[in-house]
Homo-oligomer: A and B are copies of this chain.
Amino acid sequence: MANDTFLRACRRQPAEYTPVWLMRQAGRYMKEYMAIRGKHTFLEMCKTPELACEVTLQPIRAFALDAAIIFADILLPLEGMGIKLEFAKNEGPQIKNPVRTKKDIDAVRVINPAEDVPYLLKAIKMVKSELNGRVPLIGFSGAPFTLASYIIEGEGSRNYIHTKGLMYSDPGAWKAFMEKIADVITVYLQAQIEAGAEAVQLFDSWVGCLGPDDYREFVLPYTKKVIDSVKNTVPVINFSTNTGTYLDIVKQAGGDVMGVDWRVRLDDAWKTIGHDRAIQGNLDPVVLFAPVEVIRRRVKEVLDMAGGKPGHIFNLGHGIIVGTPVDNVRALVDSVHEFSRR
């Protein structure tokens, strides 16, 4: 591996500088991405290995990023689970048959990745071949809660009424569903690792709608089960948002690296998580809309909070926002390296 700074940070080993990658680094803020997106639907891009590979590599070519992340969507496993997904034009994905009852849950299938997401595994192999050891490749999946809530709500949600409704009114059905989803995510991640992913990230983007006691009872066991099943193969990043008030519980789910958002100071978060774990984050993505001198100052502040300790992976606190100026992304990546070089 020509650049192993990311993998070293995952293991809390010293590296020549703090590695940086950005959630949703392959995305609509890049004109190269939009050129492809203009000719294909989002799902076509996910399901065509050549396109997914190309889009994965675009930000690696454009910026001095220290890791690639496979271009995919957290909802890709749904088709194999028997859930009908549609990407309506100019809207988020919608599920035709959201899961609401015990009967719905029983009908959900655990996927066979080789049959259900062959395109993703092929894309990972293509990216690995193209990267040729330049930087590591990260695989990923939605975490159990985020995946479950999408499948239950059927679309993006503000209040998660159906999800919490199931959780509160039928805890047995909730448990059965989360067990099944944990199995899906486990085989999904294992297949990505076998195909060549050198680290994996769980995205729990929505779990922050829960309070700490609900997280402990209804989420922790299942996220832990997934992480336990893959943790001895490659580094696992346990990322969630809006959980800053109960990172002490989220960390119990495991993860070599804990990903945190910007609602916590990185120094406080790392203290809560413990310095025996690596940490990833946590610049507010909106800072990338500010002037370059502001971006550089904020990058410096995050690095200062990390205090130069091995085990910090620089990232945003959430994905890059559409409309982010490309030059500002470059300024961010370069300033992380400049300020952290030992």
Residue A321 lies at the interface, judged by CB distance under 8 Å to chain B:
yes
Chain A's interface size range is 20 to 34
* Known contacts A285-B159, A290-B169; A208 and B263 CB within 8 A of each other: yes
Residue A211 lies at the interface, judged by CB distance under 8 Å to chain B:
yes
**Are A264 and B212 within 8 A (Cβ)?**
yes
Given the complex of chains A and B, what is the CA–CA distance between A211 and B287 in angstroms? 11
**Are A169 and B294 within 8 A (Cβ)?**
yes
Residue A180 lies at the interface, judged by CB distance under 8 Å to chain B:
no
Residue A142 lies at the interface, judged by CB distance under 8 Å to chain B:
no
**Are A242 and B263 within 8 A (Cβ)?**
yes
Residue A245 lies at the interface, judged by CB distance under 8 Å to chain B:
yes
Chain copies in the assembled complex: 2
**Are A286 and B242 within 8 A (Cβ)?**
no
**Which secondary structure characterizes the binding site on chain A?**
helix
- Contact segment of A49-57, A70-78, A160-168, A226-234: A160-168
Given the complex of chains A and B, what is the CA–CA distance between A168 and B292 in angstroms? 11
Residue A284 lies at the interface, judged by CB distance under 8 Å to chain B:
yes
Query: In the complex, which of the residues B160, B214, B265, B321 contacts A212, with contact meaning CB atoms closer than 8 Å?
Result: B265
- Cβ–Cβ < 8 Å partners of A291 in chain B: 168-169
- Cβ–Cβ < 8 Å partners of A265 in chain B: 211-213
Nearest chain B CB to A38 CB, angstrom units = 24
- Cβ–Cβ < 8 Å partners of A208 in chain B: 263
7 smallest A-B Cβ distances: which pairs? A168-B290, A244-B245, A211-B262, A164-B286, A245-B264, A245-B263, A168-B294
Beyond A161-B323, A211-B263, 11 extra complex contacts between A and B, CB < 8 Å: A159-B321, A164-B284, A164-B290, A165-B286, A168-B290, A169-B294, A211-B262, A212-B264, A244-B244, A245-B245, A245-B264
